[in-house]
Amino acid sequence: MPWTVEFYQDGRGRYPVREFLDSLPQDDQARILQTARLLEDFGLQLGAPYVKAVRRKLWELRVRSGRARYRILYFAFVGQRFILLHGFVKKTAKIPRREIEIAERRMAEFIDRQGVKET
């Protein structure tokens, strides 16, 4: 069964990662989407430099376009689905705590709405 990549949708029907992508130059959008396709194609086997573990179930999709460094935080969910939770431009060596907290809050919200108990 192949993996799929999905955009997290909040309670108001908005897609934060899609909105983040729409704010970027077209070439950068294309590069991020191309990297997301690699995630679909290779699933959990995709490794560095494209993905890196952040914390517990949270991972980062790492994309460089010119001098810009983009990060999309995501997690793997039942049914071989990757849920893209939060996107941002990385400006420091470490991921800012605020960015991780946003993604973790969205992940908990998503799991709760799906009615799945966390393991």
Ordered by start, the domain boundaries in the chain are: 4-114
How far apart CA 27 and CA 13 sit, in angstroms, is: 27
Record the pTM.
0.92
Alpha-carbon gap, residue 64 to 82, rounded angstroms: 20
Instruction: Give the separation between CA 48 and CA 51, rounded to whole angstroms.
Output: 5
Strand, coil or helix: what is 115?
coil
The CATH number corresponding to 4-114 among 1.10.3720.10, 3.30.2310.20, 1.10.10.10, 3.40.1160.10 equals: 3.30.2310.20
pLDDT in tens, the chain (119 residues): 689 999 999 989 999 999 999 999 999 999 999 999 999 999 999 999 999 999 989 999 999 998 999 999 999 998 899 999 999 999 988 999 999 999 999 999 999 988 766 54
